[in-house]
Amino acid sequence: MPGASAQPATLLPDVPPDKRPRHIAVIMDGNGRWAQQRGLPRIEGHRRGVASVRRATEECTRLGIGQLTLYCLSSENWKRPQRELDFLMHLLEQYMIEERALLLREQVRVSLIGRREGIPDSVLEEVDRTAELTQGNTGLRLCLAVNYGARAEIVDAAREIAHDVQRGVLRLEEVDEEQFAARLYTAGMSDPDLLIRTAGEMRISNYLLWQISYAEIWVTPKCWPDFDEATLHDAIRDFAGRDRRFGGLSPC
């Protein structure tokens, strides 16, 4: 991650640090489409997408962004061909191994959210190792959503709340938004300020439904393999120019 030591304010001088999102979430769409448009197999699009993950992580580190959450594999994606799924798991495992030293050096902290069932043990082992080794890092938090679905997350949180009430650990009248959020996969993380979706799709796709209640949404027609630093800057500039009222009124 060259250049991570540069002062964040000098890298995007027209957007002051206090106008930048603290947490960016991304729906990385269009890998297969990108490959098919070029007469390549879909898995080649996923391979090229890893380079975009690296670019986005590096640039968020340089810009002083607090957290980057990437939608790597949804719970619905298991319907895809097994060969493609196997390749995606291989890419994730390979990324955890090959990027580990760099993530440690650049103080990136890795987290995984989603249900662990169905993810190969070898992949979980490498992800868990990287997460453990980087848990003390103080820079960008890189959160990977794998086998993730927001509805499943909400169901899991509701089930945990019900279980705690049943055991007497929590009283029914104590159940509020704070208690619920503490039982989501993202407990302890800030909510995203900016949600980016690539490939021009105008939908949320069961991603962080609770957490993006007040996130600004920005869509680019670029497919994920073409997502670069300049595109990220465009998204941040657009975010900085928006009036975030959180249900209130802007001061006249």
Token duo for residue 60: 């968020």
Q: Which of 18, 29, 176, 206 is catalytic?
A: 29
Nearest-5° Cα angle at 122, 91 to 137? 75
**DSSP 3-state assignment of 128?**
helix
Q: What is the 3-state secondary structure (H, E, C) of 12-77?
A: CCCCCHHHCCCEEEEECCCHHHHHHHCCCCHHHHHHHHHHHHHHHHHHHHHHCCCEEEEEEEEHHH
Phi, psi torsion values for 86, nearest 5 degrees: -60, -40
The Cα–Cα gap between 176 and 164 comes to 13
Confirm whether 29 is a catalytic residue: yes
Sequence-separated (6 or more) residues with CB below 8 Å from residue 119: 89, 146, 147
Q: Which of 14, 18, 77, 137 is catalytic?
A: 77
Catalytic residues: 29, 77
